[in-house]
Amino acid sequence: MNNKGFSLIELVVAIVVIGIGVASFATLMNATTVNSIDPMIRQQANSIARAYLEEISLKQFCDSDFDPDGDGLNECSSTTAGEGCTESACAAASTNTCGGPNGPTSEGTNRALFDDVCDYTNLPDTVVRDQTGNQITDLNDFSVTVTINDAAGANLNGLNGTSGRSLRIDVRVTHANLADVDITVTGYRTNF
């Protein structure tokens, strides 16, 4: 007798084999999709960090109020004796501190008023903001931390951070849902 077709056992085995194949393919597609989004989020974090670094780097080295001798002129880079920065740029209020009469963040927390690098000292933005301080809602999952180093860690090719000649700017961007997205961009601002 020559019967054509499949037996019930052959049909069940075929369904199990095809089911395993489909499940494996679905798992592979899921992993590929998740991993393809990760580089995009990393690139976005990198772009945010570079934008913050550029914003900060374009600010003045010294506060616009820096005038240790009281002559009405900002003497941040002056080489005249008794004038110019001779201490760490962002140190607490002192006559030779480039951070201005009130030191770091002398303009308070309003980024629209930030006029020098030291104003960004230890800036924590739990949400990404533009340079005027407005929240960018499409980037809510990112947070930004800015650290300004004006001490020994800011030394750059002979320029000494502790004498008010250089600052190191570290901008760190993290993502709320992806722990492996942690980008830090570093730049230097010199007093020349």
112-146 pLDDT, tens digit per residue, is 888 888 888 878 888 898 888 889 999 999 999 99
> Would residue 113 count as lying in a domain?
yes
Residue 61 backbone phi and psi in degrees, to 5: -70, -45
Prediction pTM value: 0.71
Contact 80, 89 (CB under 8 A): no
How far is Cα 188 from Cα 78, in angstroms, rounded to an integer? Answer: 20
Q: What ranges in the chain are assigned the alpha helix state H?
A: 8-57
Whether 96 contacts 90, CB under 8 Å: no
Q: Indicate whether 144 belongs to any domain.
A: yes
Chain mean position to CA 150: 18
Residue 35 backbone dihedrals phi, psi, to 5 degrees: -75, -20
Residue 1, in any domain of the structure: no
In a domain, 84, yes or no: yes
| Percentage with pLDDT > 70 across the chain | 72
List the domain range (segments joined by +) for residue 50: 8-190
Does residue 104 lie within any of the structural domains?
yes
pLDDT in tens, 172-186: 999 998 888 899 999
3-12, 40-49, 157-166, 178-187: which has the minimum mean pLDDT? 157-166
pLDDT at 95: 52
Q: In degrees rounded to 5, what are phi and psi of residue 144?
A: -125, 135
- Note whether residue 135 is domain-resident: yes
Q: What is the mean pLDDT of residues 154-158?
A: 78
How high is the pLDDT of residue 1? Answer: 57
How many CA atoms does the CB half-sphere of 18 hold within 13 Å?
6
Confidence band (pLDDT; 50, 70, 90) for 63?
A: confident
In 3D, which of 56, 62, 59, 150 has the Cα closest to residue 98? 62
The secondary element (H helix, E strand) that includes residue 145 is strand 142-149
Rounded to an integer, what distance in angstroms lies between the CA atom of residue 171 and that of residue 49? Answer: 6
CB 126 within 8 A of CB 143: yes
Give the residue-averaged pLDDT of 8-14.
Answer: 91
- For 133: left if phi > 0, alpha if psi spans -120 to 50, otherwise beta; the answer is left
Taking phi over 0 as left and psi of -120 to 50 as alpha, with beta for the rest, 157 belongs to left
Asked if residue 122 is part of any domain, the answer here is yes
pLDDT at 92: 58
The CA distance from 91 to 181, in Å, is 32
Domains identified in the chain, total number: 1
Query: Could you give the angle at the alpha carbon of 126 between the alpha carbons of 120 and 130, nearest 5°?
Result: 60
